[in-house]
């Protein structure tokens, strides 16, 4: 079953309900994956987590649509009811939705794609106060680079798509390795008609015009760059390895990127604490002054936490729940100030909240050839699932590997009956389930009302629910 999701229209506006014909008595019932919430104005926003459809009910249509969402309808339905059927809010009576979600997971797990998270170096030119990395390994060794190329040569003929995420350390410290591996992987994919895409998490310090052009030639078209608020706030958190400010250089690079007339997207990540929130408005005004109207730029927010680094406890962090709440409120503030903040919807789409660590065909390849599943717990023994050999063979510890790809909803009856199961599948963070045995419910589910209001406000302001096809780390 393929699901069409039209994002560019107000999903429920502009249609009318036609009385059912007695000739056709097929019954439609509400999907178990429907959610409806009211925003501050009283408008209903509706969401179906199986199809990923999001829409708002116009006031004048409430009397027609709300009963349909409660009770379904009979006969040959048209108008509003037809729209509800097309978007998955109403389903044919007898549809086994639970089994369809199980099938959805099976299809994800057997998809012919490969996702490699490559660390061309584990060294970094920054020493951010909250960083959890150890910088123990430098540039990727020649034997590992050969292993990556051979791995691709062996697997690409069996694939439909390959995605690469450049990660580090700071990947742009080793631009030559990024180019060398990109060209090899792209050529393998071209030879076999396999689609190739790439993104990069970078601190942005070396993302000057020359490097940006080289990266675009390497098909790296999506970037995540962090700015932690106004210059003085950012510079207190994100400092050079030997000490020194970083905001001006990154900001200069963003301004230059704006002048380059090519297709790419830059997602500005804002790690925030209470101080950042107090200065949010001037920071957003600064961003707006340079980036307004350029839809290649967007921003999203993450609360600063004690992430396991050497400085934990020595800087201001957000408590978990207020921090998660502020994530959505900060996005709404940005949208009101004319800045796209569309990174909530990708987590609401089918499979959207499943962490890449749960994907059987996703691997992190460290600079020394160690294979990991999770990009956060790099020193955790369970996360060291194997080793990439120079001939491209993956020497896997099957028990450790299995931990990551099977710690999901399979044996969890609460997950199996959860309204958010299609996006999450119990796998929003396998690390949490492995370490604590607890369900890793993501903030987009726990705060579904805020998620939907933020998503809808972004749609109203910018005509898009959110970026599709983007995989970003929640961390």
Taken as a whole, the chain contains a residue count of: 475
| Closer residue to ligand SF4 in complex, CB, 448/468 | 448
Applying the rule CB under 6 A, the residues between 445 and 464 that interact with ligand SF4 are 445
For residue 124, state whether it binds ligand SF4 (rule: CB under 6 A): no
Q: Which is nearer to ligand SF4, 220 or 431 (CB)?
A: 431
Find the shortest distance in angstroms from Cβ 374 to ligand SF4: 3
Q: Say whether residue 45 binds ligand SF4 (CB under 6 A).
A: no
3-class DSSP state of 272 = strand
Q: Which of residues 351-380 bind ligand SF4 (CB under 6 A)?
A: 355, 357, 374-376
Quick check: 430 binds ligand SF4 (CB under 6 A)? yes
Distance separating alpha carbons of residues 465 and 348, to the nearest angstrom: 10
Question: Whose Cβ is closer to ligand SF4: residue 159's or residue 415's?
Answer: 415
Measured N-to-C along each axis, helices 320-336 and 280-291 cross at an angle, to the nearest 10 degrees, of 40
Q: Is 424 an interacting residue with respect to ligand SF4 (CB under 6 A)?
A: yes
| 369, 426, 443, 466: residue in contact with ligand SF4 (rule CB under 6 A) | 426
CA angle 280, 302, 444 (to 5 degrees): 115
- Asked if 296 is part of the footprint of ligand SF4 (rule: CB under 6 A), the reply reads no
Shortest distance (Å) from residue 300 CB to ligand SF4? 15
Q: Which residues contact 22 (CB under 8 A, 6 or more apart)?
A: 75
Closest to 84 (Cα-Cα) out of 147, 134, 16: 16
| Binding residues among 381-420 for ligand SF4 as defined by CB under 6 A | 409, 414-415, 418, 420
Q: Are 117 and 55 in contact (CB under 8 A)?
A: no
CA-to-CA distance for 226 and 140, rounded, in angstroms? Answer: 24
Residue 126 gets which letter from DSSP? Answer: B
Cα–Cα distance between 34 and 230 in angstroms, integer? 40
Smallest separation (angstroms) from ligand SF4 to the CB of 433: 8
Name which position in 13, 368, 435, 475 contacts ligand SF4 (CB under 6 A). 475
**Cα dist from 21 to 26, 76, 77, 467, whole Å:** 10, 6, 8, 40
User: Nearest approach, Cβ of 395 to ligand SF4 (angstroms)?
Assistant: 22
Could you tell me if 452 and 35 are in contact, meaning their C-beta atoms sit under 8 angstroms apart? yes
Q: Which is nearer to ligand SF4, 145 or 361 (by Cβ)?
A: 361
Query: Where does this chain bind ligand SF4 (CB under 6 A)?
Result: 355, 357, 374-376, 409, 414-415, 418, 420-421, 424, 426, 428-431, 439-441, 445, 473-475
């Amino acid at each position: 079953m393929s699901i069409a999701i039209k994002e560019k229209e107000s999903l429920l506006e502009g249609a009318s309900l036609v009385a059912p014909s007695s000739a056709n008595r097929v019954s439609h019932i509400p999907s178990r994956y429907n959610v409806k919430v009211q925003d501050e104005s009283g408008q209903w926003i509706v969401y179906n987590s199986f199809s990923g459809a999001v829409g708002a009910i116009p006031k004048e249509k409430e009397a027609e649509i709300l009963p349909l969402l409660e009770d379904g309808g009979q006969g040959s339905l048209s108008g509003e009811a037809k729209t509800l059927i097309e978007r998955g809010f109403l389903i044919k009576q007898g549809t086994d939705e639970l089994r369809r979600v199980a099938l959805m997971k099976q299809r994800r797990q057997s998809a012919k794609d490969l996702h490699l998270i490559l660390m061309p170096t584990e060294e970094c030119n920054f020493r951010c106060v909250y960083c959890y990395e150890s910088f123990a390994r430098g540039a990727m060794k020649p034997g590992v680079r050969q292993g990556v190329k051979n791995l691709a040569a062996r697997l690409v003929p069996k694939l439909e798509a390959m995605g690469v995420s450049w990660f580090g350390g700071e990947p742009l410290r080793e631009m030559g390795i990024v180019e060398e591996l990109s060209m090899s992987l792209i050529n393998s994919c071209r030879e076999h008609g396999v689609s190739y895409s790439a993104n990069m998490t970078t601190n942005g310090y070396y993302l000057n015009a020359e490097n940006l052009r080289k990266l675009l030639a390497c098909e790296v078209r999506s970037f995540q760059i962090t700015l932690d608020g106004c210059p003085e706030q950012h510079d207190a958190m994100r400092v050079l390895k030997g000490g020194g400010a970083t905001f001006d250089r990154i900001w200069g690079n963003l301004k230059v990127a704006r002048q380059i007339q090519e297709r790419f997207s830059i997602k500005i990540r804002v790690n925030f604490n209470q101080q950042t929130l107090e200065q949010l408005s001037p920071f957003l005004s600064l961003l707006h002054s340079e980036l307004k109207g350029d839809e290649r730029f967007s921003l999203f927010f993450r609360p600063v936490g004690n992430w396991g680094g050497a400085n934990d406890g020595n800087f201001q962090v957000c408590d978990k729940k207020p921090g998660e709440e502020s994530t959505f409120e900060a996005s709404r503030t940005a949208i009101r100030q004319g800045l796209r903040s569309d990174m909530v919807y990708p987590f609401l789409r089918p499979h959207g909240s499943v962490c890449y660590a749960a994907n059987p065909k996703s691997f992190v390849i460290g600079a020394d050839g160690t294979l990991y599943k999770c990009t956060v717990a790099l020193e955790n023994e369970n996360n060291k699932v194997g080793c990439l050999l120079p001939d491209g063979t993956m020497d896997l510890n099957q028990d450790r590997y299995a931990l990551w790809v099977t710690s999901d909803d399979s044996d969890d009856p609460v997950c199996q009956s959860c309204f958010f199961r299609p996006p999450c599948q119990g796998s929003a963070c396998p690390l949490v389930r492995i370490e604590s045995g607890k369900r890793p419910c993501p903030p987009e589910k726990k705060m579904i009302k805020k998620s939907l209001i933020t998503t809808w406000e972004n749609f109203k302001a910018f005509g898009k629910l959110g970026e599709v096809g983007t995989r970003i780390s929640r961390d």
